[in-house]
Amino acid sequence: MRNLQVLLGAADLDHYARTKLVLQQSGSGYAELIDQAQAAEQARHNAALKAAQAHEAALAAVEDAQGAALRADAAAAEQAVKTAELNALLQAAEQEMDEAEQEAARLRAQQWQARPDSKPGNGRPNVVTGPVGDCQGADTSPYGNGQAPLSALCPLWSAPGEHLRADAAYAFNMMSMEYARTFGQPICVTDSYRPLAEQVAVKIAKPYLAAKPGTSNHGWGIAVDLCGGINRFGTPQHVWMQNNAGKFAFHHPSWAQAGGSKPEAWHWEFAG
């Protein structure tokens, strides 16, 4: 047995072959053990080879994953930059559209006011900030956003509790009367002039929809939120507003339109 251990001391495949040959020539009974040892060594060798190959494959997979992650991060960063640029362009375009719409509405109002039939009581807008028609409102220019007293504003026809700046209220009331001749009822109003405290409350309740307190056009008394069908895109009531609001110096801001950044079918503003 000691001789076999000596013969197998440095186990490799060539050594096994030489040892087996010696044992077979000497007639030793250890030849079968040599076969078993050789098979075991071959299995160990194969396992080590597979382990090395698996290790190399794992390293390659890690490198591929790291490369893919880096490429994904770079693509995401590039996309974020492009998205920011597009958003900036969109906001600039919307601002330009709003300014153009307001200017067009002002020009229309001035043209209508210059006509002989543009005096109070005949359905034409009156672009002033003091009393208009039967309204006893006052000049609101001394007051900050959302700080004008109701006594300086004028009520809206058939909309209890709702007020606008005098000229806006006059134009709105004429528009509502025209609307009623088509639909049999005045324009439905959910909100108009919005005091500063109310702006704060609305901002808390609807942070995405509401403007920053102190900047809302509701606070200047020139914006209304409407209902009764006008508050849904594509209804006959909304289409009527699209076709007729400009006659009374009201307009639908581009950001509030169906394709705008914050679609609000119900929000309309006075541009007089």
Lowest mean pLDDT among 20-34, 193-207, 221-235: 20-34
Residue range 47-60: average pLDDT? 83
Is residue 174 within 8 Å of 123, Cβ to Cβ? yes
Q: pLDDT by residue (tens digit) across 183-193?
A: 999 999 999 99
Give the pLDDT score at 4. Answer: 44
- In the structure encoding, which two tokens stand for residue 76, read together? 């995401």
Quick one: CA torsion of 61, 64, 65, 71, rounded to 10 degrees?
180
Fold of 115-270: Muramoyl-pentapeptide Carboxypeptidase; domain 2 (3.30.1380)
pLDDT at 68 over 70: yes
Q: Which long-range contacts (CB under 8 A, 24 or more apart) does 11-16 make?
A: 11/37, 11/41, 12/41, 13/38, 13/41, 13/42, 13/45, 16/41
Write down the pLDDT at residue 122.
36
Instruction: Give bridge partners of residue 212 from the DSSP assignment.
Output: none
Cα separations (Å) of 141 from 84, 102, 130, 267? 37, 19, 9, 23
Instruction: Kindly tell me if the per-residue pLDDT of 17 is higher than 60.
Output: yes
Does pLDDT of 8 surpass 70?
A: no
> Strands (DSSP E) along the chain, which ranges?
154-155, 163-164, 188-191, 223-227, 250-251, 267-270
pTM of this structure: 0.56
Query: Tell me, what's the pLDDT at 52?
Result: 82
Question: What does the alpha-carbon distance between residue 14 and residue 11 come to, in Å, rounded to a whole number?
Answer: 8
Q: Is 80 left (phi over 0), alpha (psi -120 to 50) or beta?
A: alpha
The SS3 assignment for 22 reads helix
Phi/psi at 191 (5° precision): -160, 150
| pLDDT single digits (tens) 215-234 | 999 999 999 999 999 999 99
Output the average pLDDT for the chain. Answer: 80
> Which of the two residues, 129 and 57, has the higher pLDDT score?
57
In what helix (H) or strand (E) does residue 239 lie, and over which residues does it extend?
helix 236-244
Distances, alpha carbon 42 to alpha carbons 18, 49, 137, 213, in Å: 15, 11, 104, 82
